[in-house]
Amino acid sequence: MITGQTPILILKEGTERQQGKNAQKNNIEAAKAIADAVRTTLGPKGMDKMLVDSIGDIVITNDGATILKEMDIDHPTAKMLVEASKSQDTAVGDGTTTVVVLAGELLKQAESLLEQGVHSTVIASGYHLAVTEAKKQLDSLAIKADDEETLKRIAITALSGKNTSVAPEFLADLVIKAVNAVAEERDGKVIVDTANIKVDKKNGGSATDTQFISGLIIDKEKVHSKMPSVVKNAKIALINSALEIKKTEIEAKVQINDPSKIQEFLDQETDTFKEMVEKVKKSGANVLLCQKGIDDTAQYYLAKEGIYAVRRVKQSDMEKLAKATGAKIVTDLDDLTPDSLGTAEKVEERKIGDDRMTFITGAKNPKAVSILIRGGTEHVVDEIERALHDAIRVVAITKEDGKYLPGGGAIEAELSMKIRDYANSVGGREQLAIEAFAKALEIIPRTLAENAGMDPINTLIKLKAEHEKSNKNYGINLNENKIDDMVKLGVFDTYRVKQHALESAVEVASMILRIDDVIASKKSAPSNNQQPQGGMGGMGGGMPPY
């Protein structure tokens, strides 16, 4: 700028800007902090996190996606890792911690290359070459999954990292039953829609009281005490309109001058409800599930006719019921015909804990099933639910893919060795980045060993020695603290989970590496009645040190 000239202001006053190496360093540090926060939860011997929100609600878990979702993270780069974890959870249901830990380690390895003068775009390019090679190697290392026992071992591996050590085999059997029940074959391929597996939870009992229901559970009771508690050979009507008298959209008044007309008016209202119930009865239905409300008078007449009725059923449950029972969801009672009814062997009300629930079993097409989780406390039940979510997803995608991988860090150790060999064939500066990728992969077996109380350096040395001898299925036996054959032990990882985790980690790491300028607008001050809230675990409170 020439002396005496007025400076040109492009950004608003209060905007903070960080450029070049400072911006890169700051972003890498934020990502490493997030990775370190969840690293101790990795594997079956991982520790749990207790997360307390601003109103005192507690979540106890070691599920990576849940931890990051519950933490009040404010740093923009850290949020990118949270998004990668969410993407992993949405796409494949497991491996959320692996993605974050691996991305953090890739950035840590990139940091030393940046200090040596390697450009960030070269590092990102090398990482992409490495992950492409890694995916090719995964295909060659995959083992065919062709029996129920393999699926059970995959379920147990997914459950082992959560607080389900009390009954992993029992819960794994329930998962296999549920997945097999909803699996369908289309065009020669197996398709498993896990949305058809409904998971409900109730406090009380123990984890071994969890049960598989070949049908659906509705977390609602019958609307009238005089209705039957059990209906066999149920003919089910699904209605998404209210059994109530509609109110006018415009403001209206009914004026009655003659007192004798009051009873006539009330009788007319009652006749309307009688007519509604008569339409249900005429269709042949003995069970009515309504998405909206049912008036008290209508409830009385339904009970009088011996019809079991439930109101305010969720739309998602209505859709599952339609699929399971063969019923059609009707919007108008006039359209309710015998053809629109679904069938089930039994509909009954059962008391579970302090609540009453409706069980619909023996449906003609049980392509929608339920699992009812039980546990001593709310926190136990919630963690079992998260564990079953992961297990159901990994078993489903293994059934679809028909292949799996050895677990216990075996895949990462083998890939690390193969990628190092591949790096020598590439040459140039990308070779350094590919070698850094190979080294970053070792963070998974290293962390598994650390979390189990083993010596991470000695464990890695022994693991590498076995893989040098072409023992590609050897990983860490965390129960006996030694290196062992993971296939013989039955410790299996899911092929698609591992593939997606590698891709996501490289994508988010590359994106963060390519940022060399951070422009942060000034945050608006909170209003008088809105107090700023602090974050959890030191992750909130602005974008330090931007």
Question: Which tens digit of pLDDT belongs to each residue from 261-302?
Answer: 666 666 677 888 888 899 999 999 999 999 999 999 999 999
Query: 203 pLDDT band (50/70/90 cuts)?
Result: confident
Is the confidence at residue 63, as pLDDT, over 80?
yes
Segment (H or E) for 32: helix 20-39
The answer to whether 60 and 493 have CB atoms below 8 angstroms apart is no
Predicted pLDDT at 107: 94
The pLDDT of residue 24 is: 81
User: What backbone phi and psi angles, to 5 degrees, belong to 31?
Assistant: -65, -40
Write down the pLDDT at residue 439.
Answer: 96
Q: What is the DSSP string of 214-233?
A: SEEEES---S-TTS-SEEEE
Determine the pLDDT at residue 522: 65
- How crowded is residue 141: how many other Cβ atoms within 10 Å of its Cβ? 19
CA atoms of 69 and 85, how far apart (whole Å): 9
Q: Which pLDDT does position 406 carry in this prediction? A: 94
Residues with Cβ within 8 Å of 98's Cβ and at least 6 positions away in sequence, in order, are 42, 64, 88, 444, 497, 498, 501, 505
Q: What is the pLDDT of residues 394-417, one digit of tens each?
A: 999 999 999 999 999 999 999 999
Residues 6 or more apart whose Cβ sits within 8 Å of residue 353: 202, 203, 204, 205
From 40, 41, 97, 358, active-site residue: 97
- Answer with the residue of higher pLDDT: 125 or 326: 125
Average pLDDT over residues 486-496: 92
pLDDT at 532: 45
Tokens 């109380």, residue located: 453
Q: Residue 188, Cα to own-chain centre: how many angstroms?
A: 28
pLDDT at 28 over 70: yes
What's the pLDDT at 254?
66
The answer on pLDDT for 188 being more than 70 is yes
pLDDT average, residue stretch 488-493: 92
Mean pLDDT in residue range 3-27: 66
pTM value?
Answer: 0.82
Check residue 453 and give left, alpha or beta (phi > 0: left; psi -120 to 50: alpha).
left
CB atoms closer than 10 angstroms to residue 117? 7
What pLDDT is stored for residue 537 in this prediction?
44
Mean pLDDT of 168-188: 89
For residue 485, the SS3 value is: strand
96 a catalytic residue: yes
Which range among 145-149, 181-185, 365-369, 449-453 has the greatest average pLDDT? 449-453
Q: Which of 250-264, 301-315, 330-344 has the lowest mean pLDDT?
A: 250-264
Q: What domains can you pick out in the chain, each with its CATH number?
A: 15-144+406-521 (1.10.560.10), 146-214+367-401 (3.30.260.10), 219-365 (3.50.7.10)
Q: Work out the average pLDDT over 345-366.
A: 87
Catalytic pick among 89, 295, 317, 390: 390
Residue 546: the pLDDT is: 39
Name which of 104, 197, 154 is nearest 389 in CA terms: 197
Pick the catalytic residue: 96, 164, 358, 447?
96
Q: Is the pLDDT of residue 520 over 90?
A: no
pLDDT of residue 247: 63
- Give the per-residue pLDDT at 168: 85
User: What per-residue confidence (pLDDT) applies to 214?
Assistant: 84
pLDDT of residue 57: 87
- Residue 63 among the catalytic residues: yes
Catalytic, 98? Answer no
pLDDT value, residue 11: 58
Q: How far apart are CA 494 and CA 92, in angstroms?
A: 9
Q: Give the residue-averaged pLDDT of 47-56.
A: 87
Tell whether the model's pLDDT for residue 535 goes beyond 50.
no
**What percent of the chain clears pLDDT 90, i.e. is strictly above it?**
51
**Residue 358 backbone dihedrals phi, psi, to 5 degrees:** -100, 125
**Mean of the per-residue pLDDT values for the chain?**
86
Which H or E element spans position 37? helix 20-39
Is 15 one of the annotated active-site residues of the chain?
A: no
**Which entry of 63, 94, 382, 484 is annotated as an active-site residue?**
63
For range 485-500, the mean pLDDT: 93
pLDDT > 70: percent of the chain: 86
Q: Give the CA distances from residue 102 to residues 34, 441, 503, in Å, rounded to whole numbers and listed in that order.
A: 11, 7, 10
